[in-house]
Amino acid sequence: MTKTRGKSKVKIVSNPAQAKHPPAHDFKPSGKHLNFNRITDEQFLIAAEEMKLEDDIRMLLRTPYRELIVQIPVRMDDGHLELFHGYRVQHNGVRGPYKGGLRFHPEVDLNEVRSLAALMTWKTALVDVPFGGAKGGVTCDPSNMSRKELQALTRGLTSKIDMALGVYRDIPAPDMNTNAQVMAWIMDEYGKKHGYTPAIVTGKPINLGGSEGREEATGRGTMIITREACKAFGIDIKQTRVAIQGFGNVGSWTARLLDEQGAKIVAVSDVHGGIHNPAGLDMKKLVAHVKTEKTVVGFAGAKSLPNDELLTIDCDILIPAALGGVVHRNNADDVQAKIIVEAANSPVTPRADEMLRKRGKHVLPDILVNAGGVTVSYFEWVQNLQQFHWDLLTVNSELERRMVKAWKRVYQTATERNLTLRIAAYAVALEKVAEATRQRF
């Protein structure tokens, strides 16, 4: 009998309510999932209209440069042949080589990868690193695959998209369900044909040319933006209660680093469920628990909490750090947090964004919040090219400088133009990419 596991599927202002923001909607395709590409495109168009961007520049900035769809046959451990579908979308490269993560997930499809590739274009421009935007993925369920099967899948994908990769062409990185080991396999497979090329991927093990601070970079960037926003809004971060949905790499590091800043982490969750303690969770003990149990569920001294309820609990800061579309029109009115920090990609839908804005909530946009990862990926790439290793202090200091600079630019733009923070972030990014486009065409 043939098994089917892992089978692929063929500006914040003094009164935010006064901010200019056209009507928004939740978009749903024929299935149950949000159409993230349409969401990203709508946000782009709002910013483009605000900037009065020329039609020809809009066309070039909206259209991906290249899209690859590949078939990856893998001989599974039980002997049967499984066929997976892989994707790599190169959105825009006018500011530098394409850069973007690679994710393994059952719901990966071309539409999602297109959206994420575009977000990378704006993200790299916003933090002023010389990259363009790309993204990749494979439709699979890595939780049901062995190490051997994952390695075969990774090497198969690498060989199929080899012609689109390159140190000065396209540099992948880890994303959902991929990690340093997967990047090591990509580097090794690419190197079979092109020779030792550590700069071909970022997020590698340090022993193979990876960077100090890369693992916690996205979480550290999230902490920095959250801290700076609290300062701007006159909030003492040491008096805040924080809820974080998602306790993977980004969520767990964000929790630990905000805890170090004095914030009280009152709730966290993962795919198995959530936990809540109004008095605050002990981060050191929780991290140790997760290391042993592989989940936050069952942590002593905390009550269980469903994932959806975490989004609406009494807290000051809500950080969705897992999947997109979790704050939507059906639950946005129930969100109690004053600040929503988008550590995940597109976790707040356009309609929910509008509803939160009208209620005076601050939404910190994903292209700013989670840009720490690509920033340190840039540092890693630079180190590989220079064949020189930076220490952790240098990495974190430079990350701090770039993230704070990006926040100040976005907040200034939002204040001066009376925009939401999201549209201000897009405006800053689009201005850079549009100017580079004009100079090259």
Catalytic positions: 135
Tokens 């769809």 identify what position? 69
11 Cβ partners below 8 Å, 6+ apart?
19, 20, 413, 414, 415, 416, 417, 418, 419, 420, 421, 423, 424
The three-point CA angle 356-358-359 to 5° equals 65
To the nearest 10°, report the CA torsion of 190, 196, 199, 201.
30
Q: How many Å from the N-terminal Cα to the C-terminal Cα in the chain?
A: 57
10 Cβ partners below 8 Å, 6+ apart?
85
Q: Phi then psi for 25, rounded to 5 degrees?
A: -140, 160
Beta strands 132-139 and 98-105, pairing class: parallel
Query: Encoding tokens for residue 63?
Result: 């259209």
CA distance linking residue 284 with residue 269, whole number of Å:
16
Element (H, E) at 67: strand 66-75
Q: Which residue, 286, 276, 270, 289, is CA-closest to 242?
A: 276
Query: Encoding tokens for residue 204?
Result: 């590698």
CB 145 within 8 A of CB 74: no
Radius of gyration, CA atoms only, the chain: 21
339 Cβ partners below 8 Å, 6+ apart?
226, 229, 230, 233, 235, 316, 317, 318, 361, 362, 363, 364
CA distance linking residue 348 with residue 365, whole number of Å:
9
